[in-house]
Amino acid sequence: MLTKILIANRGEIACRIIRTCRRMGLRTVAVFSDADQHAMHVALADEAVHIGGSLPTESYLNRDVLISAARRTGAQAVHPGYGFLSENSEFARACDQAGLIFIGPPAAAIDLMGSKSAAKLLMDKKGVPTVPGYSGDDQSASRLRAEAQRIGFPIMIKAVSGGGGRGIRIVERIEDFDAALQSCQREAKAGFADDRVLIERYLPMARHIEVQVFADAHGNVVHLFERDCSTQRRHQKLIEESPAPGLSASQRHSICEAAVRATSGIDYRGAGTVEFIAETDADGSIREFYFMEMNTRLQVEHPVTEMVTGLDLVEWQIRIARGEAIPLQQSEISSRGHAIEVRICAEDAGRDFLPATGRLQYLRLPAAIPGQVRVESGVQQGDEITLFYDSMLAKVIVWAADRSAAIARLQMALQDCVFAGVGSNVGLHRKILALDDFSQGRLFTGLMGRHWQALQSVHAPDTALVGLAVAGVLNAQRGGQGLVPGAFRPFRSDDPWAVQDDWRLFSAHQRRFDFLYSTKPEPDQHVLATLFTTSGRLVIADQDYAFRWSRLDEEGGLLVHLGGITVKGQVRVDSGRRLHIRTQQGEFDFRLSDLYAAGEDLDAAAASLRAPMPGLVLSVTCAAGDHVKKGDPLMVLTAMKLEQTISAPRDGVIEEVFFSAQDQVVEGAVLVKFQDAPAVH
């Protein structure tokens, strides 16, 4: 009897597995690191075990401590979720040796499909079409370069053991091949302990379509139809949907049948996803499809399949793991309507999706509507979003009778998403959904690149919105927020020295507000304010307006009268001087510029020597006294699975290095002091 399951994961997937286990009458054991001791999944589980430090290698990637926790709590099975050890064959073997059920495929199947080169060879034997390329054992740089020339540029270099969009480089010309190969191998070695790569023809006009499959120990294999995952950034999925738009009935049959054929005969058990890359025409219609890889685990996007089929994939995983047959035959599985999922991540889309960290000062998510709107998240208001783990904050999934209705429903749901205190990509999702190419189903993996300028455009806020921002700052200050990082203090209405209401005995208070609402370093908007307690005058763009405001509630609701305009909205201000503004017109993110912030003794050309994101130093490749050329790598940072290389901005000399490998840095920290190269006379 299977009565207790340890979940070897965290965040929203751990919470999602716990809910199914509870419905099935199974007890759950959560595991948590130092950084996750107050996390949602810890509170939801029946038991929780501390497993180590905040770094994944000290906790969620430590096989021994996870198995020890399972045995100590009496769990009979381990569910790995996705990410971390979910596709680690050694972990599956260790569970088996410890007498634990691994809720996933056998180790041999993970090994077979975990190697992209071995999987491609197997697919060739099974008659499943594969992308033209090279996946041989000879990994010498000369052989790989020769194969790239044979295949023809552009090509894609992929880590043999990679996944999650990592370990991939696109190379347009032979001159860039060596540097891209070394970068890919370095990332693969660090992320997957395997620097082997394969080379494939790069398909610039392509769609990413995957098929959900299940297999049991009784020889049964079925598919649960396909998902389209073409809307991506940095080769990582952002929006997924089912069914794939524009796929004909015959194409759907062919791709799903190929996925079943790929899964059959390899002693596979449980959930799996067979991923295909498909060549497309300009209108997004598919010409040919090729096998890309198989993920031997549950996928992040599995809820869209659940929404169109009405099935619980985690329940199927558990039933198959305890020896049961697949609950339904292929003819009994059907798909209805259309489902779309968006991944809401803590990242700054305006700065090449750099990770965003901080405290969730305020969180609001859409209300769940059974069968129509589903929200999965592992965070709650007040949580600290750290650099240690994946950047995903939540998933919002909707279902409707057709795709157009699903897009409209998703837009409405995203209007109710607020992540104040931490940057998110909610606004980017709303722009993508509004693109004509997306709404018409003209999808391909380069969709965001084609529309990047439009997606990045920042429209100047109107005058009323600027007035609302000023009122938001004043309201925050009067609630005891000093608008300096860490300078929060309790508000005491009985203490006159705690009141910050701009009152003056014999005169008005004149202040200047400088707001940034784009990615430029200089303020976009200057406001000169002459303030009384709750009124005054604002000068915005050389126009003078009467200004009056009032607080509507304790959640940041404000009413502002500016000249003859009245605007109502909600303004949340965090300790990083960021303002998150919501009105009927949409959401806006401002930042209050600090005119008195101390500067550093570094000129603007050396800006790249500051940390562009909070992170962990992976490696340092320079030392004081080194002469470097423009573009030479100096340091590599990592945060939320993203690597960022800090390069020399120009020829020069390293004067001082302030951090070493494994040090943590905050955004904006000076990493390296840099001097121009001596002039040549």
DSSP state of 326: P
DSSP 610: B
Distances (CA, A) of 203 to 132, 207, 247, 451, 550: 10, 9, 19, 18, 56
Q: What is the DSSP letter of 363?
A: E
Enclosing H/E stretch for 5: strand 4-7
Burial class (CB in 10 A: 0-12, 13-18, 19+), 570: buried
Structure tokens at 220: 């049964």
Q: Are 448 and 455 in contact, with CB atoms under 8 Å apart?
A: yes
Of 483, 411, 559, 562, residue with least CA distance to 570 = 559
Local structure of residue 369 (DSSP, 8 states): B
User: Exposed, middle or buried by CB within 10 Å (0-12, 13-18, 19+), for 629?
Assistant: exposed
The residues with which 340 forms a beta bridge, in sequence order, are 241, 398
Distance between CA atoms of residues 160 and 172, nearest Å:
20
d(CA 640, CA 387): 5
> Which DSSP letter does residue 136 get?
-
HEC-encoded secondary structure of 68-98: HHHHHHCCCEEECCCCCCCCCHHHHHHHHHC
Helical (H) or strand (E) element with 144:
helix 141-151
Active site amino acids: 297
Asked if residues 271 and 214 have their Cβ atoms less than 8 Å apart, the reply is yes
H-helix or E-strand spanning residue 514: strand 509-516
The secondary structure of 539-596 as a DSSP string is EETTEEEEEEEEE--TTSEEEEEETTEEEEEEEEE-TTSEEEEEETTEEEEEEE--TT
**79 in Cβ contact with 315 (< 8 Å):** no
- Convert 387-419 to b/e letters by CB count within 10 Å (16 or more is b): bbbbbbbbbbbbbbeebeebbebbeebbeebbb
Question: What is the bridge-based pairing of β-strands 615-620 and 633-639?
Answer: antiparallel
Contact 8, 66 (CB under 8 A): yes
Residue 437 CB coordination number (10 Å): 15
Measured in residues, the chain has a length of 681
Question: Which among 200, 226, 206, 199 is positioned nearest to 288, based on CA atoms?
Answer: 206
Question: Do 565 and 463 form a contact (C-beta atoms < 8 A)?
Answer: yes
Distance (Å, whole) CA 365 – CA 381: 10
Beta strands 133-134 and 155-159, pairing class: unpaired
Pairing type for strands 155-159 and 168-171 reads: antiparallel
Task: Tell me the β-bridge partners of 21.
Answer: none
Calpha distance 35→389 (Å, rounded): 10
Are 313 and 306 in contact by the 8 Å Cβ rule? The answer is: yes
CA angle 163, 169, 175 (to 5 degrees): 160
